Amino acid sequence: MQDLVSTDQNNASAPEAGSSGGENSAILSVRDVTVGFGPKIILDKLDLDVRQGEILGFVGGSGTGKSVLMRTILGLTRKRKGTIRVFGKDMDTASEEELAIIHKRWGVLFQQGALFSSLTVKQNIQVPMREHLKISQRLMDELAILKLELVGLSADAADKFPSELSGGMIKRAALARALALDPDLVFLDEPTSGLDPIGAAAFDSLIGKLSRTLGLTVYMVTHDLDSLASVCDRIAVLGDKKVLAIGTLDDMMKNDHPWIESYFRGERALRRV
């Protein structure tokens, strides 16, 4: 992985890519992480660094553990060994207060949205605000609508319940909730799957814009080659229980690993990229 060159425009001072460097600028670093269920090992001694301000696209075949890795980083799945550092804090040894701050500084978009079904969209977006901030109802309402508009939903969706929304609208509402506290790091699990191409493109450009203007770091699990090509600064490929390769799209195009080759240079990919 040492030969991969960073093209991260946002962070010119970022050290060389690779698992050994980047401790300081890495907003998220995963070291030697092993996850397994019963006798089955899903991730084996996996290393990964996500740099401050970058958009990292994560790809891998179905069942290779992309979601498991994301859930492990989020602390939802137990790991057997290894360390995960988020914002420079080790998740295992962080105190309650440090964890509380980490929870305020990241936002997560789950694959199915995971909106609270008994709350309206507006209330959903306000859940983190209500919990972590002491601000007036007026300001919360304004910010909730602002976030909704930012992600491309109209204000009249605010008072609807998640069950009344279409799949694409759920994705957007969930993103609005993930962005409620202006997080530094967002995790997106297949954000554009199930969106029409125009909506997906708008979603991508929104992510790009947020990342540039707010210095948002994005960890995005996706299979959308358009997203990978248009907004991702770097792409990581998961396979054989570890990160097979990490680098720019150009690096991926040059990689000889059979899976990576068929993914990025297969018939379907060549038609699009």
Q: Is 226 exposed, middle or buried (0-12, 13-18, 19+ CB in 10 A)?
A: middle
Nearer to other proteins, 41 or 146 (CB): 146
Size of interface with other proteins, in residues (CB under 8 A): 38
Query: Distance between the two ends of the chain, CA-based, in angstroms?
Result: 23
x/- site string to other proteins, residues 108 to 147, per CB under 8 A? Answer: --------xxx-------------xxxxxxxx-xxx-xxx
Ranges within 46-65 binding other proteins (CB under 8 A): none
- Comparing CB distances to other proteins, the nearer of 134 and 271 is 134
Residue with tokens 């075949």: 61
**Minimum gap (Å) between residue 144 Cβ and other proteins:** 8
Q: How far is the CB of 180 from other proteins (least distance, A)?
A: 9
Q: Applying CB under 8 A, which of residues 214, 240, 262, 266 lies at the interface with other proteins?
A: 214
- Phi (first) and psi of residue 174, to 5 degrees: -65, -35
Name the residue nearer to other proteins (CB basis): 65 or 183: 183
Cβ neighbours of 201 (radius 10 Å): 17
Q: 8 and 233 in contact (C-beta within 8 Å)?
A: yes
* 167 makes contact with other proteins (CB under 8 A): no
Instruction: Report, in Å, the least distance between residue 91 CB and other proteins.
Output: 17
Binds other proteins by CB under 8 A, chosen from 99, 101, 127, 229 = 101
Candidate segments 20-28, 69-77, 193-201, 205-213, binder of other proteins by CB under 8 A: 205-213
Least distance to other proteins, CB of residue 238, Å: 29
Q: For residues 9 and 118, which CB has a smaller minimum distance to other proteins in the complex?
A: 118
Of the residues 34, 77, 161, 241, which one makes contact with other proteins according to CB under 8 A: 161
Give the β-pairing of 26-37 and 81-86: antiparallel
Comparison of 58 and 187: residue with beta carbon closer to other proteins: 187
Binding residues for other proteins, per CB under 8 A?
Answer: 101, 104-105, 116-118, 132-139, 141-143, 145-150, 155, 161-164, 179, 181-184, 209, 212-215
